Structure 1
Amino acid sequence: MIYLQLFWSFFQIGLFSIGGGYAAMPLIQNQVVDLHHWLTMTEFTDLITISQMTPGPIAVNSATFVGIQIAGFGGAVISTLGCILPSCIIVSLLAFLYFKYQQLTVIQGVLNALRPAVVALIASAGLTMIILAFWGEGGFVPQLSALHISSVVLFFAALFILRKWKLSPIMVMAGCGVIGGLLYFIP
């Protein structure tokens, strides 16, 4: 039964995550944290972090990670298959239709209308992660004492370094990981 739940949950994520991995994060959160309670919000944030650091799409990495957590290797295979199957079918069909009808204005109109929705999904996922990183699982609290100052400083330092010096995101993540590890041991 758990295999069927994993497959169906990640099939839905794969089917409705238009716009890529970042756009899929709210859907993954809904299925994994809110609906099935397979992970806590903290574990979900860790999952996204791990999915970012490993090669491959976030949704597929998340499916594999959750599958292994819940049902071992078989769960990883089933949830990953559920996640990629809709994309394989839809992309094959859309590629055929796009190349056949790409000149139609209706096709261009649909693509133009989807862009803002995808940006909204990405912004929603980012905002959720910022709130969790800055305030923890309790959510947004408009008090300075509830704010994790070290997280805010690391966030803005990383953002500044990425924008100013165009440093490799991998190097920035590794640096923040080292600094975060050191801060963990400092009371």
Structure 2
Amino acid sequence: MKDLIKMFSIFFRIGAFTLGGGYAMIPLIQEEIVEKNKWIEEDEFMDVIALSQTIPGALAINASTYVGYRMFGFKGALLACTATILPSILMILLIAVFFVQFHQMPAVEAVFKGIRPAVVALIIGAVLKLGKNLPRTAKNLTWILIVVVLIAYFHIHPIPIIIGSGLLGFVLYRRERGL
């Protein structure tokens, strides 16, 4: 029971204090789950992020649900998912009540202008942290460059890129293994 409460608390905190969505949550989830609590290994965490990207739903919710299930079964999955989304629900309700009245205030606009660079920095930090474990092969670096170009210049939606990447990985893996 104590571990379930701890897990709920961790995911609630992450959900409450991370602006910018799932990508901004990755370094916090990694720090808490992999580094501090050692609930899963770094390699498995990378797999969790990859899996979370390929199934419908928000990355942080999918990742937290997986970790909860991995640690405590269905009850853990339900608690981790709830803990991750509950702060957002509470904040949306609070914002809905007050934002309409205050969104034009210079102080409120200034706060959001200050938050934006921090969110970008969190996302860049997540990319760098996840990228450190990616083998630096010509194939991986080429694929990263291709994906960046497809998204940034050709405005290809990430979903077909993720599906295509999975299929390409499947084909290349089978070819490498002679299957």
TM-score normalized by the length of structure 2: 0.89
1:158 paired with 2:144, answer: no
Contact (CA 8 Å) 2:54, 2:163: kept in 1 or not?
no
CA-based RMSD of the aligned residues comes to 1.7
Counterpart residue identity of residue 162, structure 2? M
Structure 2 alignment gaps of length 5 or more: none
Contact (CA 8 Å) 1:2, 1:71: kept in 2 or not?
no
In structure 1, what is the equivalent of residue 100 of structure 2? 99
Contact (CA 8 Å) 1:158, 1:176: kept in 2 or not?
no
Size of the alignment, in residue pairs?
Answer: 175
* Aligned-partner SS, 2:133: helix
* Aligned-partner SS, 1:39: coil
The partner residue of 1:183 within 169, 172, 175 is 172
Shift of the 157–84 alpha-carbon distance from structure 1 to 2, 3 Å rule, reads same
Greater Cα offset, 84-93 or 27-36: 84-93
In structure 2, what is the equivalent of residue 74 of structure 1? 75
Counterpart residue identity of residue 77, structure 2? A
**Equivalents in 2 of 1:18, 1:168: separation in Å?**
22
**Moved runs in structure 1, 4+ residues, more than 6 A?**
none
Counterpart residue identity of residue 175, structure 1? G
Greater Cα offset, 173-182 or 58-67: 173-182
Structure 1 alignment gaps of length 5 or more: 136-146
Task: Give CA-to-partner distance per residue, 1:97-152, whole Å, 9 cap, x none.
Answer: 2112222111111111111001100110012222222x3xxxxxxxxxxx222211
* Aligned-partner SS, 2:26: helix
Report percent identity of matched pairs: 34
Greater Cα offset, 44-53 or 107-116: 44-53
**Equivalents in 2 of 1:83, 1:164: separation in Å?**
33
* Aligned-partner SS, 2:57: coil
**Equivalents in 1 of 2:154, 2:110: separation in Å?**
37
Counterpart residue identity of residue 140, structure 2? S
In structure 2, what is the equivalent of residue 13 of structure 1? 14
* Aligned-partner SS, 1:46: helix
**Equivalents in 2 of 1:170, 1:87: separation in Å?**
24
Task: Give CA-to-partner distance per residue, 1:19-74, whole Å, 9 cap, x none.
Answer: 11111111111111111111111111111111111111111111111111111000
- Once the two structures are TM-superposed, the CA of residue 164 in structure 1 deviates from its matched residue by 4.5
